[in-house]
Structure 1
Amino acid sequence: MSALWAWILLVGSVTVAVTVVEGGRRLLAGRLSRGRPGVRATAPGCAAPAFVTAVVASANAAMPYRLLDGGMENAVEHVLRIAAIGAVTWLLLRISFAVTDPALNRLTRVEGARNVRARRARTQMMLVRRILAVVVVIVALGTALFTFPQVRALGAGLLASAGVAGLVVGIAARPSIGNLFAGLQIAFSDALRLDDVVVVEGEWGRVEELTLSYVVVKVWDDRRLILPVSYFTESPFENWTRHGSRIIGSVFLHVDWSVPVPELRKVLYAYLQEHPLWDRVDWTLQVTEVLPNGLVQLRALMSAHDSASSFDLRCDVREHLIAYLREHHPESLPSLRADALTP
């Protein structure tokens, strides 16, 4: 009869633990989350690991080990201990991601003058979160391994030769360790951030992903350029959004000397006034060069909120100016002159 009650106690403990977790989940998803979208978003992501942790912890506490055979008792206790380590690790990781995801989503939507600070905070938060996740997983694996007596004995032997072992591991893991420190350096030196516009290896693109080992740059034609993090600490690269996302674009036109520059300047300003991509800060139209082939070079400058808007704005301005010259001043289009010498 005592054995039956022991098993009933085990089932009851697991049931109570699951009920408590379900009650907490309902509170977080309902009454406690009113006006707190971050709390509401946290509950679904942590539900599964919370249930597993509750089941494993209650089973480990109420398991009637004395009713099991000697070998079976040790095996069941060992399995439950490893399962508890894994469940707690899973729960900690899900909590950390669920808590930080709402903040990261808010930072993604920040525009204007605060965009640079938002991208800096988002980059640092993501890298710190990844570092903490790696540390938690390594500690969990070490704790699980040291539940085996053979591993504990091996660990004690390795401590005697820790210097040699550390030297060997350091040499073998030098690239990974270098990338790890490079990632930390980039994150906290503010040299590179998520969504920064960069030019690397002759390619123009935007930083799409920044991890502890590599950086993914989304090139303008949707290709992905994957580079080790150490590349950005050892090689020069262009960062077009280092201090802000605002950028000045240029359009060059090679035209005839007869081009009416003041009139074209008014046309450019009138077009920019109606264009939604111009940020209404900087613009100009200047004659910047007299070319050896008998043409003059015009340079139109206009500012935009970011590099993508600047590219589209430049294309639109170029098309508009060419169309205007072709329609109203065809004599200003590029033409080559030649003198016929008579004998």
Structure 2
Amino acid sequence: MVAALVAALCFPCITLFTECFEGYLRGQHKITLLNIGYTSRTVSYVIILLVAMFLDVLTLDVALVGLAFSSLVPTIVYVPTLIQDGVRTLLPRFHLDTAKALLSYGVGFQIFSSLQKLSYRLDLLIITYFLTEADVGYYSMSVNTGQLTWHFPIAISFVLLPMLASSSESKQSLEQTAMVARGTVVLMVVSVGAMGVCAQWLIPLLYGPEYLPAVVPLLLLLPGMVSGGLSHILNDYLLVQRRQLQLIGISSAGLIITTTLNLMIIPVYGINGAAVVSSIGATFVALLTVLYVARKERVSIAALILINQADITQWSSTLWKAFTSARMRFNSLRS
């Protein structure tokens, strides 16, 4: 029990320590190293659990200690690169100007992030209050499965944000964001369409046939997943432009709309109604975000969401280069 308590207390500190380094490396566009770090964290934790199971000593204490240790592994991976980049000390130091800059940016971002997360989770709390535990389980499965399609925009956002932050040209940042946003819409429509077609087989495969009632809510959630994916990309651009207050306003409006509709619809229409409201809320937020960016930057709405001939040409060229490179590597391995 003591070991578990110590691990639980150390875990937030270790995580914060590691995330500081990851933020630096992300800003330096060292994505490959970050992927190695993330992979090392997961692999080391799985190894610890497997060894503990093999030795028949797997307990809560061991699991928590393993979690704390595995969270430290990425830092060990990052240290050589940090030293090579000239980071002289790994110990935290207080710098007043840096603290002011972080607070001026971070407080607004934290409020926006909290509102966004509350908007994503509030429907589940309302379902818990008005409906049964089974409904909570079905809806949770629908949401978790639908959000698998967000891996595309989240991965793109992970790379896009530091690129935008390091760009000195506002026009270039807007063009990059618009191109990525258009591509994200296409990817989301394709992935959501595929999930919609496969939903009646995917849910039983992942969770078992007893979760078949989660299929209809999943289908009703999918339009909102497309809207949410688009919002992920445009939010990055607005954050780089220091538009936290505008994002807070948009998120607040979305939260008010979804909360009001959920309180009216969930008691009557259950989890299917909650799924419809979620899609309406996500689309409303995405629409407000698109309208704000279009108005602020004087670009058309179509330029932010509809692909054009230049996009198709560039994507085709990129895919052909990737295919050619992969074929050359394969041929070199064969020879």
Do both share a fold (TM > 0.5)?
Answer: no
- Which structure shows the bigger proportion of residues in helix conformation? 2
TM-score norm. by structure 2 comes to 0.24
TM-score norm. by structure 1 comes to 0.23
> Taking CA–CA contacts closer than 8 Å with sequence separation of 6 or more, which of the two structures ends up with the larger relative contact order?
2
Bigger radius of gyration, 1 or 2?
1
